């Protein structure tokens, strides 16, 4: 048995949740915040048998798309900010960060 932890952007959360339900996978959703963009994320915890890992990964791949977004960098903490002009930078957002971990024991009451 494995525990799949998938961290996805909030914009992809509802789509992924619906697709997991359609594919008969149970998931627990947790609200989380990313460190780089300080934007809302959703963390999914999904327990599956080893034989189901690729099926879940396929659902995640199809539901969470990478896209470009303009972001204004945070003001630097040191030095003077008088000459600092934050210009928007285009970055890739979305997609998913996925961890697959072994589960020693699982019980459902």
Residues listed for the chain: 109
Q: What total of structural domains would you count in the chain?
A: 1
Q: Which of 5-9, 18-22, 39-43, 47-51 has the lowest mean pLDDT?
A: 39-43
34 within domain boundaries:
yes
16 within domain boundaries:
yes
Is the confidence at residue 23, as pLDDT, over 90? yes
19 within domain boundaries:
yes
79 within domain boundaries:
no
68 within domain boundaries:
yes
81 within domain boundaries:
no
109 within domain boundaries:
no
Query: Which structural domain range is residue 67 located in?
Result: 2-73+86-102
Predicted model pTM: 0.76
Looking up residue 7, the CATH number of its domain turns out to be: 3.30.70.120
pLDDT in tens, 59-83: 999 999 887 777 766 665 555 555 5
pLDDT band at 7 (very low <50, low <70, confident <90, very high): very high
């Amino acid at each position: 048995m494995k525990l799949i932890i998938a961290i996805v952007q909030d914009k992809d959360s509802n789509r992924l949740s619906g697709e997991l339900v359609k594919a008969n996978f149970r998931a627990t959703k947790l609200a989380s915040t990313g460190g780089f963009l300080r934007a809302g994320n959703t963390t999914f915890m999904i327990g599956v048998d080893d034989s189901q890992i690729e099926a879940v990964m396929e659902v995640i791949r199809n539901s969470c798309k990478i896209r470009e977004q303009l972001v204004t960098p945070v003001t630097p903490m040191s030095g003077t900010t008088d000459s600092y002009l934050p210009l928007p930078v285009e970055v890739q957002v979305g997609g998913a960060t996925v961890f697959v971990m072994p589960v020693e024991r699982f019980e459902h009451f």
